[in-house]
Amino acid sequence: MSNGADIEQLDAPPPISAELRKKILADPNVAKIAAELEMDLDEFVNTVGYYMNNPGVEPAFLVVSDENLRKMGVEPPTYEAIEANVRASVEAFKAGQNPSGFEDTRKKAVDLSGQSAEDVKPKNDPNLDDAIKKGRNPLKP
């Protein structure tokens, strides 16, 4: 993570060249998009141009004071709500990183190659047959 010294702080996007402005404004949807976003057309065109000129730049994280959020009609979240959201996000990341168990290759179950047929024969218990018969119909002697 950077220390913030290399981040460019802009109050507004810088002006762009006339050729790029003409290219952006050639799209008839640009004015509609700016209006939908309630942005000044020049500011919107400069913003689009800025990101076209600097394709590696990501949009800046915007921090707005609670007072300004309320002026915009948005109730700011409480510290508890923010903490709960961060904890839930961390748990979701952890859950996504844990192996599911379905990806493991199949392991050989049990190796019976060393046993002879005599080792596998069941041992007969004479009382077992009687116990099974009594269990099926307990009223019969």
pLDDT digits (tens, 9 = 90+) for 48-74: 999 889 888 877 777 888 998 899 898
Confidence at residue 134, expressed as pLDDT on a 0 to 100 scale: 73
**For position 60, what pLDDT does the model report?**
72
Helix (H) or strand (E) holding 95: helix 79-97
Pair of tokens at residue 138: 């307990």
**pLDDT of 6 above 50:** no
Q: Is the pLDDT of residue 120 over 70?
A: no
- Domains in the chain: boundaries: 8-79
Q: What is the chain's length?
A: 141
Res 141: pLDDT: 54
pLDDT of residue 107: 66
Q: What percent of the chain has pLDDT over 70?
A: 70
Q: Which of 3-7, 60-64, 107-111, 129-133 has the lowest mean pLDDT?
A: 3-7
Q: What is the separation of C-alpha 30 from the centre of its chain, rounded to a whole number of angstroms?
A: 31
CA distance 42 to 34: 9
Rounded Cα distance between 80 and 77, Å, is: 8
